[in-house]
């Protein structure tokens, strides 16, 4: 039995945002054929996927991440618009975009990325794109009704979500999908009241 932990660093959605995101997901779910939809209570934005990490190494990585984000302040991000990767014709991933607050999220991800690189994690080749995954295709194929549903919500305003902490998450793959567990959390620097 391995002592490694499949893990990632993320921002979790607050309860008030989960309800709005669930409603958007339900509209897509009504149009899809063979997709795997994320559970609303697990909605998150991945800042860095670590993969399998030895249990003894994870604490040092987390300590470096917390140190790297020590001066990061809480912020609000606007959840706006739905889209699909790689495109609407043959979507593999349905996502919600981040509008205001996107730059702060990109900055936070960059700090996390740099801290992880110090511990031998390969830097992501693609630039960080702030988004929240609603679902993934089991077998990607054209789906005009799903494409129309996503396109119909391309400019949808799904409100704001507060980002006041980052989380170290454990991901366990099961036949029913990934099961997530919060291993650690780090509050962002609230500083002095303004």
Catalytic-labelled residue, pool 89, 131, 186, 190? 131
User: CA distances (Å), 72 to each of 69, 123, 125, 188, in order?
Assistant: 5, 21, 24, 6
- Summarised one tens digit per residue, pLDDT across range 7-64 is 999 999 999 899 999 999 999 999 866 899 999 999 999 999 999 999 889 999 999 9
**Model pTM score:** 0.90
Is 119 tagged catalytic?
no
Superfamily of domain 4-187: Cyclic phosphodiesterase (3.90.1140.10)
Catalytic-labelled residue, pool 44, 89, 119, 190? 44
Is 44 tagged catalytic?
yes
Q: What is the DSSP string of 79-127?
A: EEEEEEES-SSS-SEEEEEE-TTHHHHHHHHHHHHHHHHTTTPPPPSSP
What's the pLDDT at 55?
A: 84
- Summarised one tens digit per residue, pLDDT across range 142-187 is 989 999 999 999 999 999 999 999 999 999 988 777 789 999 999 9
Q: What is the DSSP string of 141-172?
A: ---HHHHHHHHHTTT-EEEEEEE-EEEEEEEE
């Amino acid at each position: 039995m391995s002592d490694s932990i499949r893990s990632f660093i993320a921002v979790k959605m607050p309860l008030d945002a989960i309800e709005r995101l669930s409603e958007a997901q339900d509209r897509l779910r009504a149009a899809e054929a063979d997709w795997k939809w994320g559970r609303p209570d697990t909605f998150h934005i991945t800042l860095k996927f670590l993969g399998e990490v030895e249990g003894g190494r994870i604490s040092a990585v987390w300590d470096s991440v917390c140190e790297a984000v020590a001066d990061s302040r809480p912020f609000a991000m606007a959840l706006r618009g739905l889209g699909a990767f790689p495109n609407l014709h043959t979507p593999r991933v349905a996502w919600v975009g981040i509008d205001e607050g996107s730059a702060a999220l990109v900055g936070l991800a960059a700090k996390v990325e740099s801290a992880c690189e110090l511990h031998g994690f390969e830097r992501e080749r693609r630039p960080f794109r702030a988004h929240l995954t609603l679902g993934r295709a089991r077998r990607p194929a054209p789906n005009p009704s799903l494409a129309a549903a996503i396109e119909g919500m391309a400019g949808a305003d799904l409100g704001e979500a507060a980002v006041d902490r980052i989380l170290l998450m454990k991901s366990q793959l099961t036949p029913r999908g990934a099961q997530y567990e919060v291993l650690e959390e780090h509050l962002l620097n609230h500083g002095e009241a303004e």
